[in-house]
Amino acid sequence: MSIRETILEKIDTGYSYQLAKRMETYKSNQVLGYRTAGSEAEYKTGEMLRKEMVRIGLSQVEKDRVTVDGWEFKKAVLTFVSKDGMEKQVQLGAYQTTLVTDGQEECSLMYLGKGTEQDYEGKDVSGKLVLVDINQRDEWWINYPVYQAHLKGAKALIAVQCGGYGEIGDEALNAQDIAGPEDAPAFSISRKDAAELKALLEEQEEIRVRLDADTRVTRNCTTYNVRGCIPGRHPDRIVLLSAHYDSYFSGFQDDNTAVSMMLGIAKALIDSGFQPNNTIMFCAMAAEEWGVADSWFDWSAGAYEQVFTAHPEWAGKVIADLNFELPALAHGTRARIRSCYEYTRFLEEFLSGLPDLTHAYPEEAQVVAPIETWSDDFSMAIAGIPSMVNDFTGGSFMETHYHSQFDNDDYYDEKVYKLHHEMFALLIEALDRTAVVPLSFGPVMHRAAEMAEEGIRLTASREGKTAPEKGLGGAETEEAQGLEAALRNLKEQLLLAREREEQAYLRLKEQNSRYDRLLSEGRCEEAEELFSSLRELEADCLRKFKAEQDAFVRIDWYGNVLYPHELLIQKLSLLTGAAMDLKEGRLSQALKKLYQVDNNAYAFMFGPEVYRHFTDYVLRQPKERLKWGYGRLMEHADLYELVRSLLKKQEKGEKEYREEAVYLEKVCGEERKQALCAVEELCRTVKKSF
């Protein structure tokens, strides 16, 4: 029996399932669960996992101390008298904020619609609870209405999901990272319980309720990432597996099953007698759901600290991070590995050579790229560690059960879970048979060239196009011509680099094939000689990967991963389009475009203090507060006053927007200069590094 067959035979999803259930034992809130950053429940879970790693036979089991902001949520109970005269107590979920009451404190509660600035007109909410509806998926994040309530003097905000999340049923609570200050308290209530409160508030503007809460944020707490390994013949070359053990509610899918699958794979490898060529590292990460107060980038704190402060030397040693999220349910019609572009070629080749595995999906597995910011693999990648994750964002689970008390084993799919065990266990074995990290930089260059071509199309405004067809150039300007020329140069450089990198990958692939053949034939001494000869090539590949992450990876204000020129071109397209709309009297169309520029959507609904706080805290906080978001956002276009001016004119029915159009044209000019600088810098990077 081959080692691959033995590994598959030793996989035991029953073990993994039971371990996932054991993780539910530890909780901060005895009714709802919660195992949060820096909490006692998180610490106890980490201790249990450390002991389990030792028990199954992992070596060098250690806990790495990292500093994050901590959150302990013990309780939040709201008491009120219902319409039938009966006293009722309801459980509230919570967000990462501080509010500790002296037992059951009596206070007033008001309903304020969606909690926008306009909803507070003529209302006094000082010292009161504010109930609002929210749809975080389709409208705005929780921090905006919460901070608006805080500035108005509210005691706390209570949010009820009116769509987007927690759609499984009217009893669902929801929890998300707050991305706001800890002194602006916030809670979550189910639609069912909120409906009773709203019924009472139909007849009166406010009602008396009692709140009993204990939720505390403490900055600069200690938590621990827990790791162990299967030692390999090359101890400084590492294949890393990771998953997070903090959670909202019981966290069965997110992320108990991922941590348990990671250790289930470890146990299968050990039980199979697998003797790796490289060190196989297993790391349970803390503080993924949240770990930084008052930061837009407040999740994945534990993983970020692991590779930027606890073990920065992992960059250059770890050839791949296999991160896991929600692996025990189906996300669509096929399993997908979401990968950084550089690993897509190898993964596609890997999938094409797999034996028959558990049939859990109607379609074959697929590789998708790039990675996203929603999980720990992003922190790994920007540190210089090539990463991937089982793609978990498809299907209905994210809208229905995710981050609610219904994230339990009712949705458990044993076949999907087993398939993920099998696929990633074999991926470890395949990576272990490489002599040099199998990265291909061609796909990055190809995609970047496509974005440059799109920019050229949009900037080429002086080639006989009619006004509505004009792109980013607007009137023929020196900046527009310069930007178009720079994009053409960038595209040319990228296509040349793509060809070079495609050839380089073929040579690298041949070296790995040769190494694998030598191992298979038992010619270990020759294999070691080849391995030693490729160390500098691997170091160069990993240095190139880090350089590529620094140069090409940017994010927008909603966490989407984009190229620098892609992001700037998209923004400039919106701005020039809005300016043209205003010139031609199309106010509604102009506003729709401005809504999509950076974070200016929030200018439409919230006061200037709210808008400024959540703009400035991204642009003006130190690196240690911004974590993985530091330096990833491009320059911000502050359109608050412009948007408010246009909204007033819309309300009054005014039709003259010349002043606003002139202002937007000035903004477009500055954006073109920024885009030109960014494109020229990318050209220099491509020439130097690729």
Q: Residue 472: its pLDDT value, please? A: 54
Strand partners, 122: none
Distance CA 398, CA 413 (A): 16
Give pTM, 2 decimals.
0.95
Question: Of 108 and 468, which is predicted with more confidence?
Answer: 108
Q: Is the pLDDT of residue 470 over 70?
A: no
* 274 backbone dihedrals φ, ψ, rounded to 5°: -60, 125
Distance CA 444, CA 360 (A): 31
Q: Residue 459: its pLDDT value, please? A: 79
Q: Residue 465: its pLDDT value, please? A: 40
Distance CA 489, CA 452 (A): 9
Three-state DSSP state, 534: coil
Q: Residue 469: its pLDDT value, please? A: 40
Three-state DSSP state, 246: coil
Q: Model confidence over 612-628: pLDDT tens digits?
A: 999 999 999 999 999 99
Q: Is the pLDDT of residue 462 over 80?
A: no
Distance CA 502, CA 357 (A): 31
CB 191 within 8 A of CB 181: no
User: What is the total residue count of the chain?
Assistant: 690
Q: Is the pLDDT of residue 475 over 70?
A: no
Q: Model confidence over 189-246: pLDDT tens digits?
A: 999 999 999 999 998 999 999 999 999 999 999 999 999 999 999 999 999 999 999 9
Q: Residue 393: its pLDDT value, please? A: 85
Three-state DSSP state, 104: coil
Q: Is the pLDDT of residue 92 over 90?
A: yes
Q: Residue 468: its pLDDT value, please? A: 39
130 exposure class (CB count in 10 Å sphere: 0-12, 13-18, 19+): buried
Give the chain's count of helices (H) and strands (E).
Answer: 21, 17
Q: Is the pLDDT of residue 467 over 50?
A: no
Q: Is the pLDDT of residue 416 over 50?
A: yes
Q: Is the pLDDT of residue 460 over 80?
A: no
Q: Is the pLDDT of residue 476 over 70?
A: no
What does the pLDDT average to over 524-543?
97
pLDDT mean across residues, the chain: 95
Q: Model confidence over 3-17: pLDDT tens digits?
A: 999 999 999 999 999
Q: Is the pLDDT of residue 329 over 70?
A: yes
Q: For residue 230, what is the enclosing H or E element?
A: strand 206-230
Q: Residue 464: its pLDDT value, please? A: 33
Amino acid occupying residue 513: S
Q: Model confidence over 573-612: pLDDT tens digits?
A: 999 999 999 999 999 999 999 999 999 999 999 999 999 9
Please state the three-class secondary structure of 618-685 as a single string. Answer: HHCCCHHHHHHHCCCCCCCCCCHHHHHHHHHHHHHCCCCCHHHHHHHHHHHHHHHHHHHHHHHHHHHH
Q: Residue 635: its pLDDT value, please? A: 86
Neighbours of 9 (CB within 10 A): 12
Rg of the Cα atoms in the chain? 27
Helix boundaries (H) for 377-441: 377-383, 397-400, 414-432
pLDDT band at 471 (very low <50, low <70, confident <90, very high): low
What does the pLDDT average to over 52-58?
98
Q: Tokens in use for 512?
A: 């790995």
Q: Residue 165: its pLDDT value, please? A: 94
Distance CA 172, CA 617 (A): 32
Q: Model confidence over 107-162: pLDDT tens digits?
A: 999 999 999 999 999 999 999 999 999 999 999 999 999 999 999 999 999 999 99
The residue with tokens 């999938």 is 351
Q: Residue 290: its pLDDT value, please? A: 98
pLDDT band at 461 (very low <50, low <70, confident <90, very high): low
pLDDT band at 466 (very low <50, low <70, confident <90, very high): very low
CB 131 within 8 A of CB 103: no
Q: Give the helix, strand, coil percentages of the chain, each rounded to 5.
A: 50, 20, 35
pLDDT band at 481 (very low <50, low <70, confident <90, very high): confident
